[in-house]
Amino acid sequence: MKEIPIWEKSNLTLEEAAAYSGIGINKLRTLSDGEHCQFVLWIGSKRLIKRRRLDEYLDKVYSI
């Protein structure tokens, strides 16, 4: 079975999101713990990061 590259996936695990964004797993966990976090998807107790929403968040927060 062919593995899909991280940049083509719509939802990422914390480990994948950390590798993709360069942000540490603990920092991503802290950011996504917020009640109004737009880039987290909870499936039961599993936390997935919405890649496009994470990109939008990072562009908004870190744009100069």
| pLDDT per position as a tens digit, 1-25 | 788 888 899 999 999 999 999 999 9
Q: Pick from 7, 6, 50: which is nearest to 32 by CA?
A: 50
- Mean residue pLDDT of the chain comes to 92
Q: H/E/C letters for each residue in the chain?
A: CCCCCHHHCCEECHHHHHHHHCCCHHHHHHHHCCCCCCCEEEECCEEEEEHHHHHHHHHHHHCC
Amino acid letter, 55: D
So what's the pLDDT on residue 64?
Answer: 61
As given in the structure block, the two tokens for residue 16 are: 């994948």
As given in the structure block, the two tokens for residue 48 are: 């997935």
